[in-house]
Structure 1
């Protein structure tokens, strides 16, 4: 009874949509299928948010530059959908718009900006990956050292899971540094690298960790001119050595060709098809290519969120999204919101994987939509 009473007090303090959003985030780890996660979103978030906004006649919506850009992006999606889509696509645009509205307007953001939440989210995701691996090793589904390609929850794929782990590390990093939790930071770094390099064997997550290191170095360099000059010279030398090795050393050239997994060829093909369809409108929301790469491998999706925006919905959607990201990141910088680092890392790693933003709830909702809607949220009182 005391636990139930405590839960009631927590609900009264933070509001229904905050609690429901936490359940939705947890469902990506606890529920095994996308249909189950979709149902959590529809029942606990989308339908209540729609009813609440209609009953309140939108009085709780506070306009902001980010929200106006979201409105423009959704309006463009509707236009592109009218030209090439279907009823199902319009429903997905509504799902996206409702999620953005409820996260940016109806959720109390304070709990998501606490040190406890930031640290807890990283450890929960890290334990989810490591714990799943240990269970798989014990039951013999995967051998130690074999790449785990299917985790038990909705966050199942190794690429997106490693990206999410890197973003969660970025979210908690300012707390670890500010509170001087050096031992926990070292343990978290070891867990993240082990999960990405050994368990998931995903380069995308490791790129995210390298991006975090580069951003930290850049931040320190901006504060101290001497460090900036040293880092600039070092970066130029490293880039020069890499370019020389890739172009002149056959072994390095072959390694680089294998490492990109055909992405450069894929991007070149899809960029050409986008240009052929029309730069401004793209190829349509249901476009599929018949082109192949690497001697016959079918292209499943663009493997780049920015190319996906342009390919499926044209240059206007890409420009609106980039403007939105810049506005939100600037807001995060001014407010010193660690979710800005989370978002920036996500935007970096999604250069190497990622597809459509419009659709049923998927990994991109955790990587992009959640932070980009949460950062501008300055709400202080519950609805």
Structure 2
């Protein structure tokens, strides 16, 4: 068990190293725009290519992971994610920039399903807690990305980006050296035991799981819309609407993201006691008043409110992954890719709707409208299967 925990911490560290590269792009993109003389449309296409390679493609890596043991994707994904961003800093033209960013996204997409699947098999009965340990690395990495980007820009600019390969390369070597031991730790599940169990399920149970999975995907998309909306409109509200200090807005956003990372850890533990569905319900219910209070709160209480919001919203990160994996017991890699890649990645689509509201009615109205998002998510979550009840029944048997 202690060895399994060590492996979980190592996978979480790899998750951090991989997702730092996703957090770099929003800071580097304005620099790329100036250096290469890009239009806003061309710069937006760079972000789109990153989204496609890191999120949309991710379920395909999950499908591959389920078809065959591909643990080598763990160190390879970590290294490629950093290599792509390192090459992007030296890109001589637009095509090279897009190709480099796309390559980095492929590394992100390769790492998540296989590493999440491995974390799933390393867990004991406390699956949400184990998944939270793995997930918090990614949330921290994304939150620290802007900090790393600022440090690189202050120590050589974009040309310093190859420095990213040094820690990623060392960690990838460590991950590679642990693959044999990791393979022995998860040998049973990888031999097809869960696939065999799935094949014996009645067709009615499979249909029920499929419907529940589709519903869960919609709920995760809704949660991601809210997270993307708050992440983007906190700066808009204080910089563009209130004409505030950008550094103050940056501090607010950092508090929100770091509190979310802490919420990931705590949320997993709570979900193992309450059940994943109950955890999601409570989180979404609390987000409604938090969102409504945000424009009416100031001073130190604003930091408290944002910390509470980030903690509450992101606390459902691990429980949603565990629910998906439980609904697809023979396709854990695919379940991970669908939740961590496709469903979470589509959160950016909701920004288009929120942006339309902001253009028509103003930023405060756009913020107030976001309260409808968790309310809708709460209503849909009521129809998810009660995993806490099912677990109690299985323990009683």
Q: Would you tell me which structure has more helix in proportion to its own residues?
A: 2
Is TM (by shorter chain) over 0.5? no
TM (norm. structure 1) is: 0.27
How high is the TM-score relative to the length of structure 2? 0.27
Larger Rg: 1
